[in-house]
Every structure is written in C-alpha cells, then in structure tokens.
Structure 1
Amino acid sequence: MTKPLVAVLSGAGISTDSGIPDYRGPQGLWRRDPEAEKLVTYEYYMGDPEIRRRSWQMRRKNRTLSAEPNAAHRAVAELERSGVPVRVITQNVDGLHQLAGLSARKVIELHGTARAVVCTKCGTRGSMADALARVEAGEEDPPCPECGGILKSATVMFGERLDSRVLGEALAVAKACTVFLAVGSSLRVQPAAGLVGVAADHGARLVIVNAEPTPYDELADEVVREPIGTALPRLLRELAAAERRPRSEEG
C-alpha cells in the first residue's frame, strides 16, 4: 500500500447535507426512536420475521440509495485528483465517497455498504436495488435467490463484529498517514474512534471537524466547529496548496 499523506475518517455528519440523517446526534434516529435499533440488530433481525419485514420497509423508505454526494464528499475526491495521496476510512454505509469520484480502492468501509445485500447462509452478495425491487413487487422478506437463506444488508449490524481484514487496513492507514482528519463523527464508537488515537500516537497532524465536542478534542492540533460542507473543502484546499508549495518555501 502506498503511504497515504491524508487520511479522512468520515462519520454520519459528512452525509447530513445529502439528506441522510445521523444516528447519534441531538436529533439522531436512535435518540428519536430507540425501537429502530432493533431493525438493525443482528440477533433481533435473524430471530424475528416481523423485524425483518419492518427492516425491509425501512430500507425501502430511507433516502440512502437516492442520496447524492455533497460539497464535502466532492472536496475529498478533488483532493485525490489534485495528486495528494488520500485514503478514506468511513463509518458510513452510503457509498457517497465513491459516487463523488473517489476510487473505491481508496475507501475503507468499516461498517459495510447499504448498496448491497448478503446471504447469511451461503454468503452470496447481490444488489440492494434488486432486493428492494422484489420487496416492491410484494416479497415482504425476500430470501436468497441461490439457497433460500436470510438476506440482510451488507452492513455491520449491531451485534456483529467488524471484518478483521477491513479493520487491519484502517489501522495501517492510521499508522502511516501524516495528516488525519476526523469529520462528522462523534468519536464515541469503538474501534473506529480509536483510530484517532493511533494516528496521533504515530505522529500525524490531527484535525477534528464536528459540530459537537468529541472525546479526542484535546489530542487534536485543530478543532473545527464550522459546518462540514464549508469547513472541509476549505481545509482540503489548504492541504492541496501546501503540498504544491516547493519544500524550500516551508523552511
């Protein structure tokens, strides 16, 4: 893996401007409707057909698949196009970094993707859009077309472990980067939040962009409370400009 210069850890806050609500903020989904957590909790999902039916209806109604990248996602992709090595570690499952033009191989999706489904029995993966079309056609709990097993979103549900390979890749990025930006994350969910400390311990410049205080603010070289849609593009333009300057000017 090429040593990254800039690592971006993105949380739900980076996607709110795209119309996707966050989960743990003051108006977050889990605070407004604690029962909704059951719909994305593995034990409940696997054990209760009614929970699965409600989960499919929730997916059918949510705006994730129709959301478009916003200025913050586009700014990260633009930084890569400017020639600065970039890696994104995202807690989001919306795929908006890739839709904004960032190479998929440079996006580490810690919690999987809502744009695909996976069979819990045989592991076959498929398109979420295709599964939702089956729901629209009347299948309340569409089974795997290969083996008849239970289909779920290809996301990490509550009660599931993160993929160790994916987490290992994220750790390698956190250790190797020279700048680490934590954007739109409460930094209260482990192990993702711990990547901030790993980056700081390995000498990265740490910048936190978030509306609310986080447990890692004291470690940060810079804390930004401005709206992400304006703050992140500005910060990344400054990084790109600094990278273009001849080293002799940085004396």
Structure 2
Amino acid sequence: MIAPRPAAGTRLFVLTGAGISAESGLGTFRDPGGLWRRFDPMRLATPEAFARDPEEVHAFYNLRRAGVKAAAANPAHAALARLQAGLAAAGGGLFLCTQNVDDLHERAGAGAVVHMHGELMRARCLACGAGTPWETDLGTDTPCPACGARGGMRPDVVWFGEVPLHLDAIEAALAAADLFVAIGTSGSVYPAAGFVARARADGIPTHEINLAPSDTAGAFDTACYGPASRTVPAFAEAVLAGRPLPQGDQGA
C-alpha cells in the first residue's frame, strides 16, 4: 500500500510502547530477556501480590523507579515532542498515548501525554485515593502526604487485573484521528493491541513503527522497521514536510 502523505493539519493518534524507551536502557517486557521473562508478574504486578507481600513489590518498583531516573530520553522521544509542537503550530494535533510508565516523553518536551498504564513517578494512597508525584523509594512505612496513613502507598501504575486509565479520552481521540501510528509496541497487550482494528474499522489509515513486526503487524496498512532512534525521527520529519511516510526495513 502507498504510505499516507499527512497534511499540515493532520490529527495523529500515536501509541507508544516499551520499544521506544529500549534505546534509553529501559527493558521491554515480552521480548527475549524482557522484564516478564525474568520476573513473574503475578508475584510483582497485581493487587493480590501487593496485599500478600508489599515489601517485595515495593523493592521491585523501587528498582524500576531508580532505573527510570537514571535513564535519558532518546532521539525517538525528542522527535515526537517536535512533531507534537509542529502539528499544533500548523493547526493539527498529536494525541500521544503511551503504555509506558516512564516519564521520558515528558522529559523530551512532549505535553499532555496520556499514560494509560499509569506513571511510575507517581504514588497513590489506598486509604484516601490521593495521588502525588513520587521520585524516591516507597515502603510499608511510607506515610501518605495527604492523609498520613501508613502501609497503603503504592506505585500509581496499572497492575494486571486492573482497568487501564483514560479510556474515554483515548476512544474519543482515536475516533477523531486522521492517522493511527503504533510505535514500539508488542501488539500483545489489550486493550491497546486492539486500537489498530478499531482505527481500520473507522476507515483511519494505520502505520506501524517497530524494531520488528508486532503480533498485530498484519492489521496495519503500512509499516517501517528498525531502531526507534532512526525510524521515529524520519517519520516525524516526513509528517512535518508532508512527504509519504518511510516504509520497509530500515536495518538494525
């Protein structure tokens, strides 16, 4: 299929996954050597796991939080921030939805990032429900800044068995998009993996950017494969210049 040639006023819906942060040193989840190949998510990433052994869950997420703090945004994050600003200036827009719990999009300069799986650099109190920015370790003795309760502070992320966040806003933005693009996603985690089918059902062109084909690669109209630090800047430049999107294998 001929790649789309987005216009200046294009409304993009961009979904990002762990692959966009891999070159920043943050591990993916289901690839060989990924996080859930090395750790059991049922022991570390469910409400039941937290109720059973909160110290173990805190230790795991404290390590992950430290890893995010030590990481830096890469050229793919920066390219999306430039694209978001450029489209806004041209009368269009970029709805940036991420499955990632890191804050690298924000650190690269992106605004209004929709974290459908929550944010590692935030904590939430189970006692009062208050959420707050959080960059240090959490433990069972950590008091809630809002209510003072101890024992109920948890990472403000979506665990297995919990409902992703912002689904109404995501659905509305997807329905209004001129182009749906998935970047660095495995295509194996729902509901995000179903966005491409929803877009195609609405007649919205779809484009995949990934290191290798995802589980849902066959559902995309066009695709470009290669390292995110190379493919995403090329994609952003093409959109801003009104050129056809890059396609094919761009090399590893």
TM-score (norm 2): 0.83
Q: 1:213 corresponds to which letter in structure 2?
A: P
Cα deviation for residue 140 of structure 1 reads: 5.9
Q: 2:161 aligns with which of 159, 175, 187?
A: 159
* Alignment partners' CA distance in 1, 2:18 and 2:47: 21
| In 2: Cα distance, 1:59 partner to 1:95 partner | 12
Which residues of 2 match residues 229-240 of structure 1 at below 5 A? 229-240=229-240
The corresponding residue for 1:100 is 108
Residues 189-223 of structure 1: CA deviation (Å, up to 9, x unaligned): 11111111111222222111122332322221212
Establish whether residue 67 from structure 1 lines up as the match of residue 71 from structure 2: yes
User: Aligned equivalents of 1:216 and 1:31: distance in 2?
Assistant: 20
SS in 2 for 1:65: helix
Aligned residues: 229
Percent of aligned pairs sharing the same letter:
34
Does the CA-based 8 Å contact 2:61-2:155 persist in structure 1?
no
Residue deviations 1:18-43 (CA, integer Å, cap 9, x gap): 11111111220111233x55222211
Query: Does the Cα contact within 8 Å between 1:10 and 1:184 map onto a contact in 2?
Result: yes
Consecutive unaligned residues of structure 2, counting only runs of 5 or more, are 1-8, 244-252
Separation in structure 2 between the aligned mates of residue 37 and residue 21 of structure 1, nearest angstrom: 18
* 1:31-180 equivalent positions in 2, closer than 5 A: 31-34=37-40, 37-55=42-60, 57-59=62-64, 62-82=66-86, 83=89, 84-104=92-112, 107-129=113-135, 131-132=136-137, 141-145=141-145, 146=147, 147-163=149-165, 166-180=166-180
- Bigger fraction of residues in helix: 1
Match of 1:10 in 2: 16
TM-superposed CA distance for 1:116, in Å, is: 0.7
> What is the deviation of 1:149?
4.4
- CA 1:85–1:32 in structure 2 vs 1: closer, same or farther (change >3 Å)? same
Q: Distance in 1 between matches of 2:164 and 2:211?
A: 26
Unaligned runs of 5+ in 1: 244-251
Residue 249 (structure 1) aligns with: none
Q: Tell me, what secondary structure is at the counterpart of 2:68?
A: coil
Letter in 1 for 2:14: V
- Asked if 1:211 corresponds to 2:211, the answer is yes
Q: For residue 192 of structure 2, what is the aligned residue in structure 1?
A: 192
**What SS is found at the alignment partner of 1:93?**
coil
Report deviation, 1:121.
Answer: 1.4
Corresponding residue number in structure 2 for 1:21: 27
Quote the offset at 1:141 in angstroms. 4.4
